[in-house]
């Protein structure tokens, strides 16, 4: 690693890291991947026992290692497009690239784990971090940081047990903060909170860029007051926000997958579709307004009409992540006894070819 510059500002240290991308010599073991388009994508995994960032430009057939000089464990990542990515390491260092991993800037930041979110607003990149303090009996306390003038600044203190320093209307101590997103206006944001108590999972919303958060009351969720609710990431498509949830009824012993939709930036919500399953979903994917996928253990259900009808698809054994570019182009990441395999389909998941 060649350190080109060393800049001091506040509590942050920034340096530019030159990287020499090298093709892996062993099959990588991926834990996550994200395709940007049909050819370009990123992945997180390990090779030769070390955490790595990988990139591909041939649809996943060949992967290149990037950020080879970073030290520590990868705790979080955010891939915006083919060129821009942020990688958070356990030693409180956040790496950023704007040229597809050829060069990286390394910042010392006031967090070692948490969820990252960035958005390009008018040509300017704005970023937030949901700093996590680690789970305690299923609860994950959080603070909110925002990137202001190239410095990560604490803008919201979440609730902690026996603490009086929290911000007004603080994000709750209880529950796991599963995901958070911002709309293009960079002021409206959402955090999904999952709790291990019937009817207690919820949605928190801000309209001032994350300074103030309020629990969003969604009346139609009252019918799940006696059920355990799993929450998934929100998706903005064609001006609508789609929020999938799954409610477990321990009396009937089944799960109901429900798709909520808002057409007014999260102020009001309606139920658009639902279906019942015997198993808990691994993940729910919203590709666009009509094409949704629900991944179960070795099963994938799809709809191409906004939930009116559902179809079961066969997927490679051990699949734990699906990635869609459109309703035809899809990859599947599957676990094996020796690591992971990557599969590809160009007919919407009806047939699969193995990439590695």
Bigger pLDDT: 107 vs 13: 107
Cβ neighbours for 219, distance < 8 A, ≥ 6 positions apart = none
Model pTM above 0.85 = yes
The first and second tokens of residue 181, run together, are 């997103």
Mean pLDDT of the chain: 88
pLDDT in tens, 259-271: 999 999 999 999 9
Distance CA 292, CA 301 (A): 8
pLDDT in tens, 91-130: 999 999 999 999 999 999 999 999 999 998 878 889 999 9
pLDDT in tens, 210-250: 788 999 999 989 999 999 999 999 999 988 999 999 999 98
23-24-25-30 Cα dihedral, nearest 10 degrees: -160
Distance CA 260, CA 282 (A): 18
- pLDDT at residue 21 above 90? no
The first and second tokens of residue 281, run together, are 């979903």
Per-residue confidence (pLDDT) for residue 51, from 0 to 100: 83
pLDDT in tens, 288-304: 999 999 999 889 999 99
Distance CA 269, CA 279 (A): 26
Contact indicator for 109, 171 with CB cutoff of 8 Å: no
Confidence category of residue 277, pLDDT binned at 50, 70, 90 = very high
User: 3-state SS of 233-299?
Assistant: CCEEECCEEEEEEEEEECCCCEEEEEEEEECCCCCCCEEEEEEEECCCCCEEEECCCCCEEEEECCE
Confidence category of residue 22, pLDDT binned at 50, 70, 90 = very low
Confidence category of residue 9, pLDDT binned at 50, 70, 90 = very low
DSSP 90: T
Per-residue confidence (pLDDT) for residue 341, from 0 to 100: 94
Per-residue confidence (pLDDT) for residue 27, from 0 to 100: 64
């Amino acid at each position: 690693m060649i350190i080109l510059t060393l800049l001091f500002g506040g509590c942050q240290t920034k340096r530019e890291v030159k990287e020499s991308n090298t093709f892996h010599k062993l099959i990588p073991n991926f834990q996550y991947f994200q395709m940007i388009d049909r050819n370009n994508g990123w992945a997180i995994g390990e090779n030769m026992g070390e955490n790595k960032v990988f990139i591909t430009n041939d649809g996943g057939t060949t992967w290149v290692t990037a950020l080879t000089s970073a030290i520590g464990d990868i705790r979080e990542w955010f891939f915006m497009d083919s060129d821009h990515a942020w990688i958070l390491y356990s030693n409180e260092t956040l790496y950023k690239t704007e040229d597809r991993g050829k060069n990286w800037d390394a910042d010392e930041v006031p967090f070692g784990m948490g969820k990252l979110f960035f958005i390009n607003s008018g040509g300017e990149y704005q970023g937030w971090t949901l700093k996590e303090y680690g789970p305690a009996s299923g609860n994950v306390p959080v603070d909110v940081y925002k990137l202001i003038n190239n410095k990560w600044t604490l803008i919201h203190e979440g609730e902690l047990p026996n603490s009086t320093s929290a911000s007004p209307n603080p994000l709750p101590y209880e529950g796991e903060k599963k995901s958070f997103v911002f709309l293009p206006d960079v002021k409206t944001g959402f955090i999904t909170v999952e709790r291990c108590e019937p009817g207690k999972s919820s949605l928190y919303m801000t309209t001032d860029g994350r300074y103030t958060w309020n629990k969003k009351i969604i009346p139609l969720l009252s019918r799940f007051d006696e059920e355990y609710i799993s929450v998934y990431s929100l998706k903005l498509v064609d001006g609508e926000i789609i929020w999938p949830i799954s409610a477990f009824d321990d009396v009937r012993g089944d799960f109901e997958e429900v798709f909520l939709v808002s057409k007014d930036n999260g102020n009001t919500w309606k139920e658009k579709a639902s279906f019942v399953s015997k198993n808990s979903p691994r993940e729910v994917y919203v590709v666009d307004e009509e094409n949704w996928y629900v991944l179960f253990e070795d099963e994938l259900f799809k709809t191409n009409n906004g939930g009116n009808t559902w179809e079961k698809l066969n997927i490679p054994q051990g699949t734990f992540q699906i990635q869609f570019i459109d309703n035809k182009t899809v990859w599947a990441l599957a676990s094996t006894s020796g690591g992971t395999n990557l599969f590809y389909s160009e007919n919407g998941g009806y047939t699969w070819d193995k990439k590695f």
